[in-house]
């Protein structure tokens, strides 16, 4: 049987009347990298904070790393690395001093060796004497990752770790995540970036505190039932207002020099395409992208919420 790093059921968090997380189940096998996606305010941070024992769940039960979520919060924290959205280290200390400080907090043995090893593995050696405040965004995130992994946690919870960093730095950061996963660490990472979602073994999509769908990228695209067509040709962008207004077109967007339309009703989509057939654009059916699916899910969950209001 697969060993689970996270096994929680019915996890909920209420802030007064606000239901930030609503009965979420998560079974995350050890060693995998899971992506946590969803629009702003969908409950990702709140869930992560409950999982690492920083926030008490209103309802629900389960285990993280075999420890009870409710009674063993301190043990969970000790075996988990949690990286928040904000860079939260000491700007006036150097990279090395920051890590030395963290090593003292965790009461690590062989502190000097731990810091040296961490600097080397994360490629921070040549920046060790630089003040943290002088680092670029990408290197700050690298330092943050070094600090949350130095005590060799079994579970890593990363809350939008690469927000605002450039693509190369994000790619380097993800190489590190996969390295840690290869070493056996389990990772749950929230992100708004589609390319990052595609690097995960499994994706969980939340909206308005509810778990809407989960699976591999391919599963999520297949389960969505979404159909996409793409048009190419000079001036194709000008079609957008007309075609977006056709019945069955749930969303139309200009993307990589082509116009995508998406919906769930094939007959209506084909009718929308034929309504502009005389204009001579080249249309073809394409596999929906993960972004197409998430936009459709976002629209759908917003509509469901409005219909229940």
Positions touching ligand ATP (CB under 6 A) are 15, 18, 20, 38, 40-46
Q: Which two tokens stand for residue 221?
A: 């695209």
Tell me the C-alpha to C-alpha distance, in Å, between residue 152 and each of 26, 146, 283: 23, 10, 52
- Which C-beta is closer to ligand ATP: that of 43 or that of 138? 43
Strands in the chain per DSSP E: 4-15, 18-29, 33-37, 59-64, 67-68, 80-83, 155-159, 186-190, 202-207, 210-215, 227-232, 251-255, 258-263, 282-286
Q: Which is nearer to ligand ATP, 32 or 85 (CB)?
A: 85
Please say which residue, 43 or 153, places its beta carbon nearer to ligand ATP. 43
Q: What is the DSSP secondary structure assignment for residue 1, as one 8-state letter?
A: -
How near is the Cβ of 216 to ligand ATP at its closest, in Å? 21
Helix axes 95-105, 111-121, angle to 10 degrees: 130
Find the farthest-apart pair of alpha carbons in the chain and give their distance in angstroms, rounded: 74
**Minimum CB distance to ligand ATP, residue 196 (Å):** 13
CA distance 251 to 303: 14
| Residue 1 or 309 with smaller CB distance to ligand ATP | 309
Least distance CB 200 / ligand ATP (angstroms): 16
C-beta of 143: minimal distance to ligand ATP in Å?
21
**20 vs 239 by CB, closer to ligand ATP:** 20
CB 159, min distance to ligand ATP, A: 7
């Amino acid at each position: 049987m697969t060993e689970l790093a996270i096994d929680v059921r019915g996890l909920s968090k209420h802030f007064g009347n606000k239901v930030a997380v609503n009965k979420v189940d998560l079974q995350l096998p050890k060693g995998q990298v899971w992506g946590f996606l969803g629009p702003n305010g969908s409950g990702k941070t709140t869930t992560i904070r409950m999982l690492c024992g920083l926030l008490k769940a209103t309802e629900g039960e389960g285990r993280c790393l075999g420890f009870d979520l409710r009674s063993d919060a301190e043990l969970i924290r000790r075996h988990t690395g949690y990286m928040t959205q904000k860079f939260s280290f000491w700007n006036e200390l150097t990279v090395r001093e920051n890590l030395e400080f963290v090593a003292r907090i965790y009461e690590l043995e062989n502190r000097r060796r731990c810091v040296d090893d961490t600097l080397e593995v994360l490629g921070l050696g040549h920046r060790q004497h630089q003040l943290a405040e002088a680092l670029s965004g990408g290197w700050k995130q690298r330092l943050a990752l070094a600090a949350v992994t130095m005590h060799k946690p079994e579970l890593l919870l990363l809350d939008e770790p690469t927000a605002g960093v450039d693509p190369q730095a994000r790619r380097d950061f993800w190489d590190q995540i996969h390295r840690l996963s290869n070493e056996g660490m389990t990772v749950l990472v929230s992100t708004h970036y589609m390319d990052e979602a595609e690097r995960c073994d499994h994706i969980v999509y939340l909206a308005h505190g509810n778990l809407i769908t989960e699976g591999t990228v391919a599963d999520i695209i297949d389960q969505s039932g979404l159909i996409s067509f793409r048009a190419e040709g000079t001036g194709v962008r000008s079609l957008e207002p007309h075609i977006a207004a056709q019945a069955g077109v749930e969303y139309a967007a200009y993307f990589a020099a082509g116009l995508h339309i998406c919906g769930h009703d094939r007959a209506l989509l084909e009718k929308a395409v034929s309504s502009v057939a005389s204009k001579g654009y080249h249309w073809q059916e394409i596999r929906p992208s993960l972004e197409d699916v998430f936009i459709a899910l976002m629209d759908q969950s917003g509509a469901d919420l409005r219909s229940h209001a």
